[in-house]
Amino acid sequence: MLEVKDLVKTFGNYTAVDHVSFQIPDGKIMGLIGQNGAGKTTTFRLILDFLTQDQGEVLWNGHHLGEKDYDIIGYLPEERGLYPKVTIQDQLVYFAELRGKSKKEIEPKIDFWMGKFQVKGKKTDKVKSLSKGNQQKVQLIATLIHEPKLIILDEPFSGLDPVNAELLKDGIIELKEKGSCVIFSSHNMDNVEKICDHLIMLRNGKMVLDGKVHEIRESFGRTKVFLESDLTQQDVAEIEGVKNVTLHEDQTLEVTLEDPEAGKEIFTRATQFGYIPMFNQQPPTLEEIFKMKAGEMDA
């Protein structure tokens, strides 16, 4: 289990990480979200001991995470970097050897991982001959091939098309199921919502969201209604507590509420006309919550 306790990091008068604490048990995935400059990458660098914190501690299974633990860590930095003139195979073996694995252990796994992430090329190809997307896959393989127990991924979905993003999600979930502890940052709220067990949002270095994704969404109230009925867009817009109404091509109304209680009035009016094909009241999406919290001012 990874434990981060009361981390603080300042650069001069600027506080980049401001009393951040969380736990990630084995076999769980945590998403770290926030706008650019919120403190996500600095938090990762503090966990990895690339930076020295001003306050707080980082523990792995109860002891201070340090150099002796590096072999069990897989880290994908935001700034990607591979050796362009080195073959895929030699590159993967080199990075795995840095983490205590032998060439004999890693070479048999290369074909499996290249197939898993659908890398287009041969393992004897030099990295510079690959497309940008395939180079990114090789870097991901280098991060995961030694089956680390602690996986830290900084914007892993950046630059991946939907198909390859899905492959990565499957790979992350598979390692989770094997007991790895995973933390990743992303600006794609859909990916965060689909695979995270826990979520933290940073704003100006401070934690402004902390919890399970579904619990965070529910805490904001059920402020979204999807409706199919005889009510018109204008009928619904005139109901007190309704903020916005969008009419979709399939004639479904998407209603944003200022007050979740307005949903009851919408339902009452809609059912006056008899049967309604759909009424679904939901909490805001994670992306909507992100925008709300990002737009708030610190006290």
199 φ, ψ (degrees, to nearest 5): -140, 140
Give the DSSP letter of residue 35. Answer: S
Q: Would you say 247 and 253 are in contact if contact means Cβ atoms under 8 Å apart? A: yes
In the chain, the largest separation of any two C-alpha atoms, in whole Å, equals 72
Residue 59 lies in a domain: yes
Strands 29-33 and 14-24: unpaired
Residue 288 lies in a domain: no
Task: Quote the domain boundaries for residue 200.
Answer: 2-217
How many C-beta atoms surround the C-beta of residue 9 within 10 A? Answer: 22
Helix 132-144 vs helix 88-98: angle between axes, to the nearest 10 degrees? 30
- Both tokens of 13, joined, read 């008068």
Helices (H) and strands (E) in the chain, counts: 10, 14
Strands 73-76 and 29-33: unpaired
Three-state SS at 145: coil
Residue 123 lies in a domain: yes
DSSP letter string, 81-135: ---TTSBHHHHHHHHHHHTT--HHHHHHHHHHHHHHTT--S-TTSBGGGS-HHHH
Residue 289 lies in a domain: no
**212 and 246, same domain (yes or no):** no
How many C-beta atoms surround the C-beta of residue 104 within 10 A? Answer: 8
**205 and 270, same domain (yes or no):** no
Residue 146 lies in a domain: yes
Which residues touch 52 (CB under 8 Å, ≥6 apart)? 46
**203 and 256, same domain (yes or no):** no
Tens-place pLDDT, residues 22-43: 999 999 999 999 999 999 999 9
Residue 8 lies in a domain: yes
- Domain limit, last residue, from 195, 217, 239: 217
- pTM of the full predicted structure? 0.85
| Total count of domains within the chain | 2
**172 and 232, same domain (yes or no):** no
129 φ, ψ (degrees, to nearest 5): -85, -10
User: Each residue's pLDDT tens digit in the chain (299 positions)?
Assistant: 999 999 999 999 999 999 999 999 999 999 999 999 999 999 999 999 999 999 999 999 999 998 889 899 999 998 878 899 999 999 999 999 999 999 999 999 999 999 999 999 899 999 999 988 889 899 999 999 998 999 999 999 888 888 888 988 998 899 899 999 999 999 989 889 999 999 999 999 999 999 999 999 999 999 999 999 999 999 999 999 999 999 999 999 999 999 999 999 999 999 998 889 999 999 999 998 999 898 775 54
Q: Which residues in 92-174 belong to E strands, given as ranges?
A: 150-154
What is the C-alpha to C-alpha distance for residues 17 and 14, in angstroms, rounded to an integer? 9
Three-state SS at 274: coil
Cross-strand partners of 87: 126
**142 and 103, same domain (yes or no):** yes
**35 and 64, same domain (yes or no):** yes
